[in-house]
Structure 1
């Protein structure tokens, strides 16, 4: 077995066994508390530039199936596990976690104390790290990590480079791809929508040319303040077209309206995060993956109201515009972490579209 080393920004070193591809990678170390869904996690573009620590101790036991990918490739910079399964048992299995990581160019390390690492992240926050399968001197590795530039172009890396269409007979929705998961498109197509997926830097004028009934702002990686062109596009479309924002799309909607965002200490990543909808007093279990959140005090005086809150820490999980048919959530309604509690949000989006069409308020109408 080839060895691998994980060097944290604070100088902590973990030594374990290498799997997946060989080489060296630098990123931000984060943790995910999901017990299943490792393939969907690894192919979620929102993990671009990050090293994913899985808190569940055994990863890879049911293998990988290409039908379960959530994007065209993995954008993660590393996978950190307590134990990776060398043998898999599932009727849908195609390849092992080791083979899949080799194909995707993802470096993996197993055999380390992921519980200790997770506790460290919870106490000190997410931090930069370097993962290597080489034997280079630790002093040189520390220097590399200290001098590595901060990644700021994650959205550009993960977004589609060209427009593509999923034809259908229903409502026409423009999906702005900031690093979108495939299941967002699937949820819309299942509801009869024609989905036009466009790059992250598509302008409001270009979106209007498609004469959409609605616009969906997708999830994506990184700091929302690194995508100012998207904020401008949203500002121009407010009041013209119903808009639904998910995760990064939620944060960009808030920034476009004049609110502010902040980086969380260690973020929310997992499939069991409770969120309360204030209008109904109903709590749902959600799938989440984000480092940033909307600052609640920054929306005061703006035409926004908080619609959902996280029960674990009270952070903003949803917003509604008080004048226009625009709303957003911080979590992932397209995911199914077991319960499918949040799928109704896509229906709500289509209801807002239908109402706007009846009133003659949309560009398409």
Structure 2
């Protein structure tokens, strides 16, 4: 908080009535969303600008936030998407040579209501025990009972289709860096800017398409491969993109999906999805890649997961599907792969973020695996 700004009171009320009193951080006003916690100790700017956090109030478990300020190079999208922000001990000033303004100033500029000075450890433990739930933050309402009524009248995450709200409205191209090897159609369901950059680094020309894109739109760009991005909302409420993906798999188009793209891949293959109690959010989540036997420390942001058998394979109209990655904390499905009758890879997805800006980068090889998949399917391996 800048020295010139006078702090004002704020309250946070969860839908079960648990209340926290603190100070305003960011914009004044009132906001509602799903309360979730992020365990990352760094990368708050990337978290704030990740479209997957649309309609969520993010609680940072690291106590000291904002010490590197905000710069113009690290945003993952065109704006801050979180519905609200909760920190314990905001930095009094920025201390990075890259900083252009303080985090508090950026939150106020973009109208993001937050709260500071509360016991985020107690709040996180409450969410772990009771599960993610709706929440309200207000600097204008002092009566918790009144705010609680508005919290309980706000929208829930289950059943919400949100990808169309964060997607680009116009297609655009991210050119390959160096020689162009292949063309990829990337469906923007809430894509982070680092994702097409990671593909461009590997010689892929990426045509980023709106979430409403059709199979004909994908064919029209001459795609050698199809990519589905991360994004917000309930995968069970997102049906159009599942039908498009099924058509693309029927065409034999190589597929790679990240996060929401993993959940929609699962639904396209006939698996269900379900809401996790409190989700995985942070940059320190251990996952095993069953293909290599390697354990990776990975970046996560998901509240839903795929319901697929951890062992064996499942026969689908498009080939044999199996679970390729598993979270070592709780055995949640963290990746899927699809193979043809000869055992050759046709498509794969991961629930976490191999493009992770702010790190870690253990899973960056998955972009190489996508390039190899396209090469093999085109008979150029």
TM-score (ref. length: structure 1): 0.95
> 5+ unaligned residues in a row in structure 1: which ranges?
361-365
- How far residue 2 of structure 1 moved from its aligned partner, in angstroms, is 0.7
For 1:110-189, list aligned pairs within 5 A. Answer: 110-150=116-156, 152-168=160-176, 169-189=180-200
Conservation of the 8 A alpha-carbon contact between 1:286 and 1:337 = no
Q: Secondary structure at the match of 1:89?
A: coil
Q: Secondary structure at the match of 2:41?
A: coil
For 1:219-238, list aligned pairs within 5 A. Answer: 219-238=230-249
Q: Deviations over 1:127-180 (max 9, x none)?
A: 100111103533322221122233524211111111111233331111100000
Equivalent-residue separation in structure 2 for 1:338 and 1:346 (angstroms): 15
Q: Secondary structure at the match of 2:136?
A: strand
- How far residue 337 of structure 1 moved from its aligned partner, in angstroms, is 4.5
For 1:261-340, list aligned pairs within 5 A. Answer: 261-297=273-309, 300-302=314-316, 303-323=320-340, 325-340=346-361
Equivalent-residue separation in structure 1 for 2:218 and 2:110 (angstroms): 33
Conservation of the 8 A alpha-carbon contact between 1:287 and 1:337 = no
State the partner residue of 1:82: 88
Please give the root-mean-square deviation of Cα atoms over the aligned residues, in Å: 1.5
State the partner residue of 1:363: none
Equivalent-residue separation in structure 2 for 1:287 and 1:36 (angstroms): 12
Equivalent-residue separation in structure 2 for 1:60 and 1:235 (angstroms): 43
**Structure 2 residue 60 is the aligned partner of structure 1 residue 54:** yes
- How far residue 359 of structure 1 moved from its aligned partner, in angstroms, is 6.7
Q: Secondary structure at the match of 1:205?
A: helix
Bigger Cα displacement from structure 2, 143-152 vs 173-182: 143-152
Equivalent-residue separation in structure 1 for 2:243 and 2:124 (angstroms): 37
Conservation of the 8 A alpha-carbon contact between 1:21 and 1:108 = yes
Equivalent-residue separation in structure 2 for 1:148 and 1:341 (angstroms): 38
> 5+ unaligned residues in a row in structure 2: which ranges?
1-6
Bigger Cα displacement from structure 2, 291-300 vs 86-95: 291-300
Equivalent-residue separation in structure 2 for 1:255 and 1:342 (angstroms): 24
State the partner residue of 1:356: 377
Equivalent-residue separation in structure 2 for 1:333 and 1:12 (angstroms): 36
Equivalent-residue separation in structure 2 for 1:20 and 1:162 (angstroms): 31
- How far residue 278 of structure 1 moved from its aligned partner, in angstroms, is 1.1
Residues 1:300 and 1:358: Cα distance change in structure 2 (over 3 Å): closer
Equivalent-residue separation in structure 1 for 2:290 and 2:326 (angstroms): 8
Q: Deviations over 1:68-103 (max 9, x none)?
A: 000111111111011111211011011101101012
Conservation of the 8 A alpha-carbon contact between 1:70 and 1:182 = yes
Equivalent-residue separation in structure 2 for 1:227 and 1:261 (angstroms): 11
- How far residue 338 of structure 1 moved from its aligned partner, in angstroms, is 3.8
Conservation of the 8 A alpha-carbon contact between 1:86 and 1:98 = no
Equivalent-residue separation in structure 1 for 2:233 and 2:375 (angstroms): 33
Say how many residue pairs are matched.
360
Equivalent-residue separation in structure 1 for 2:165 and 2:291 (angstroms): 37
More helix by proportion, 1 or 2?
1
TM-score (ref. length: structure 2): 0.91
Equivalent-residue separation in structure 2 for 1:331 and 1:66 (angstroms): 25
State the partner residue of 2:366: 345
Conservation of the 8 A alpha-carbon contact between 2:32 and 2:83 = yes
Conservation of the 8 A alpha-carbon contact between 1:296 and 1:315 = no
Equivalent-residue separation in structure 2 for 1:355 and 1:38 (angstroms): 38
Equivalent-residue separation in structure 2 for 1:285 and 1:9 (angstroms): 33
Equivalent-residue separation in structure 2 for 1:90 and 1:260 (angstroms): 45
